[in-house]
Structure 1
Amino acid sequence: MLPDKDFLIKLAQTKMPYGKYKDRYLIDLPEYYVVWYHRKGFPKNKLGDMLTTVYELKVNGLEYLVKNIQKQYLK
């Protein structure tokens, strides 16, 4: 199932709310951190859904999709 447009826009605007990478946009989290978090288990909430999507985007080299959305919506 592909995320809808509104979900991707929200993903592009969301920052990590806690931890070492607090206040960094989710799409800008280092890949190793997202992979580690994937192995550990993402939270079972909206943030977890977003991190799961970030994981899929990063391992498939598709971060540019969210970066393009950021250029439009984070002016």
Structure 2
Amino acid sequence: MKMNVAPDREKLLELAHYRMPFGKFKGRYLVNLPEPYLIWYQQKGFPEGKLGNLLKSMLEIKVNGLEPLIRKIQKDFPR
């Protein structure tokens, strides 16, 4: 059985262009949020729903040093 592990293109595009909707970093792209802020969210509990999932994904991306991938998507696929 072959598993498809290719990331969903639309989800990556959304993640690359999603902006923080509230708080201290309102209006910032999620990729531009400081890692300690994302870790704080992880410790206190990510919000429910889409934003929480995106923040969780962004933390994984940052921890694994993959921000250049997101910045490339922003550059290559502007919205």
Tell me if both proteins adopt one fold, taking TM over 0.5 as the criterion: yes
For 2:53, the aligned partner's letter is D
Give the TM-score normalised by structure 1.
0.91
1:54 aligned partner, one-letter code: M
What residue in structure 2 maps to residue 41 of structure 1?
45
Residue 35 of structure 2 corresponds to residue 27 of structure 1: no
**1:9 and 2:13 equivalent?**
yes
Q: How many residues align?
A: 75
* Unmatched segments (≥5 aa) in structure 1: none
Q: 1:58 aligns with which of 42, 57, 62?
A: 62
Q: Structure 2 unaligned runs (5+)?
A: none
Q: Provide the aligned C-alpha RMSD in A.
A: 1.5
Deviation sequence 1:28-59 (CA, Å, 0-9, x none): 10011011111111112011110010010011
Normalising by structure 2, we get a TM-score of 0.87
- Which stretches of structure 1, 4 residues or longer, exceed 2 Å deviation after superposition? none
